[in-house]
Amino acid sequence: VWKDCLMVIREHVTEQSFKTWFEPIIPYKLINKRLIIQVPSQFFYEWLENNYVKILRKALDYAIGKDGQLEYTIIIDSGGQKAAQKKVETPKEDSRVIPKNPFEIKTSSDIIFDSQLNKNYRFENYVEGSCNRLARAASVAVAQKPSVTAFNPLMIYGDVGLGKTHLVQAIGNYIEDQPGNNKLVLYVSSEKFTSQFINAIRDNSLQDFMNFYMMVDVLIIDDIQFLAGKEKTQETFFHIFNHLHQSGKQIVMTSDRPPRELSGMEDRLLSRFKWGLTTDIQIPDLETRMAIIQNKLATEKAEMDMEVVEYLANCVDSNVRELEGVLNSLIVDSALLQRKIDIELAKYRIKSLVEESQKAISIDKIIDVVTSHFNIKVADIKGKTRLREVVLPRQIAMFLTKEYTELSLKAIGYHFGGRDHSTVIHAIQTINDLQNQDRELQMHIKEIKEKLKK
Ligand code: ADP
Ligand code: MG
């Protein structure tokens, strides 16, 4: 049993700490589910309890089970004196307390288990607006009482750059920063999860991979749309998900689209989401965007007139990340030029950013992105076919070429297999008209635009 414990421990501490704190431990007795270990001193025992209680609990869970208990025996001397036994209550779920550290030693400093959280993403700097009210409230509730609320799993979806990652990381940071916290929090993007999974298969260490994830108390998994179509990864995630959920662990997920639009995701996985709460984040309204700018200015200790704040909030209206990007460049501009961020500077910056983003998008790139988005051939889009599967993408590509490049209608026609300019006008009009009624088309265009900007 102790060997099993050591195996789990070894994965979570440095080689140095392992040598110092775990090798000297002597497994003494196992009575039913009570494991008694011998440690060299009172100090040693306190240190273990203060720094490694989470890891020890994990190790016990793994080697004995949830009801496993740990007791310490302190070896007073080697001269046959009866060892003093110190019974240590191994706390139950949710009521685990880390004893106060009498030596005022910085705790947990050498535990390797890294939650992968970015400490800057917090509730305190997350601006609330009607766009995110429910998602934020649910996140706060989960942060305060992980696994206890009905929001398990909590699933937050919304477009890129609207604050999903910020919000779910704030949950993790809040939990980690609770005094005496002993919950293992883990943040992982679905991309990383997938590549870890693939590596685990390659290295024959799938079991380790699963054990690692099953040990977590709060699993935050970002951008799960990335798992779509990855059958094996999903299957593994499904097992981990079930295990965690059944053991009363909290799961938080994000996605760039609502679950029903996650094509390529297994139904049995999607139906699990209904156990908890699914909620969205919308584009922030003008006032919220202005508040976000001001919040950011305050952290950066920068200043800006209200007029400029409003101007920026109006110009960049659909993506908080872009808004922050513009703001950051302005802050840099103003430092370099030693000049206040005024409306001229702001206008100049916005104008050059727009030009830059458009310059980078060439007709070849548009054709490339559109054809791969619709999975058709470049030769077809430039060719004669009148098949609907090709005609619509062709019209979209022409429409976008007009929007993003300086090319004349005639030039656009030329690039699309020598069509004349009236065909191009017709294409642009068709897409313009359709766009207002056809939600699916809107989605396509939106996705293509995002890909173009990458
Ligand atoms: P997503 O994960 O949805 O793509 P992010 O969480 O990465 O978006 O957010 C993009 C940027 O915008 C981050 O720097 C984040 O801090 C910021 N942001 C988004 N929403 C808010 C908000 N409501 N308040 C403050 N900052 C925000
Ligand atoms: Mg994100």
Probe residue for ligand 1, chosen from 321, 327, 450, 454 as the CB with the greatest number of ligand atoms within 8 Å = 321
What average pLDDT does the chain have? 87
Q: Which of 147, 130, 126, 163 is nearest to 254 (CA)?
A: 163
Q: Is 129 annotated as a binding residue?
A: no
Ligand 1 binding pocket, CB closer than 6 Å: 125-127, 132, 158, 160-166, 292, 295, 320-321, 324
d(CA 121, CA 126): 8
pLDDT tens digits for range 398-428: 999 999 888 899 999 999 999 999 999 999 9
Identity of residue 421:
H
Peptide bond preceding 179: is omega within 30 degrees of 0, i.e. cis?
Answer: no
d(CA 169, CA 218): 11
Closest atom of ligand 1 to 158 CA is 3
- Does residue 40 sit in helix, strand or coil? coil
Q: Which ligand is nearest to the CA of 298?
A: 1
Q: Whose CA is nearest to atom 5 of ligand 1?
A: 163
Identity of residue 134:
L
pLDDT score of 77: 44
Probe residue for ligand 1, chosen from 128, 159, 166, 316 as the CB with the greatest number of ligand atoms within 8 Å = 166
Measured in Å, residue 305 CA sits from the centre of ligand 1 at 23
Probe residue for ligand 1, chosen from 189, 320, 323 as the CB with the greatest number of ligand atoms within 8 Å = 320
d(CA 310, CA 262): 36
**DSSP per-residue codes, 168-212:** HHHHHHHHHTSTT----EEEEEHHHHHHHHHHHHHTT-HHHHHHH
Q: Is 145 annotated as a binding residue?
A: no
Closest atom of ligand 1 to 121 CA is 16
pLDDT score of 92: 39
pLDDT score of 110: 36
Sign of the Cα torsion 259, 265, 267, 269 reads negative
Q: Is 163 annotated as a binding residue?
A: yes
Per-domain boundaries in the chain? 2-86, 133-280, 286-359, 363-453
* Fold annotation for 286-359: Helicase, Ruva Protein; domain 3 (1.10.8)
**DSSP per-residue codes, 282-301:** PPP-HHHHHHHHHHHHHHHT
Query: What CATH class has 2-86?
Result: alpha beta
Q: Is 107 annotated as a binding residue?
A: no
pLDDT tens digits for range 99-137: 333 333 333 333 356 889 999 999 999 999 999 999 999
* Fold annotation for 363-453: Chromosomal Replication Initiator Protein Dnaa; Chain: A; (1.10.1750)
Q: Whose CA is nearest to atom 21 of ligand 1?
A: 163
ipTM of the complex: 0.99
Q: Whose CA is nearest to atom 26 of ligand 1?
A: 126
pLDDT per residue, tens digit, the chain (454 aa), is 899 999 999 988 888 888 888 988 988 888 888 888 888 777 778 778 878 888 899 999 999 988 888 888 776 543 333 334 444 444 433 333 333 333 333 333 333 568 899 999 999 999 999 999 999 999 999 999 999 989 999 999 999 999 999 999 999 999 999 998 889 999 999 999 999 999 999 988 898 899 889 989 999 999 999 998 899 999 999 999 999 999 999 999 999 999 988 888 989 899 998 889 999 999 999 999 999 999 999 999 999 999 999 999 999 988 999 999 999 999 998 988 888 999 999 998 888 877 777 677 889 999 999 999 999 999 999 998 888 899 999 999 999 999 988 889 999 999 999 999 999 999 999 999 998 888 889 999 999 998 988 7
Q: Which of 376, 365, 392 is nearest to 452 (CA)?
A: 365
* Fold annotation for 133-280: Rossmann fold (3.40.50)
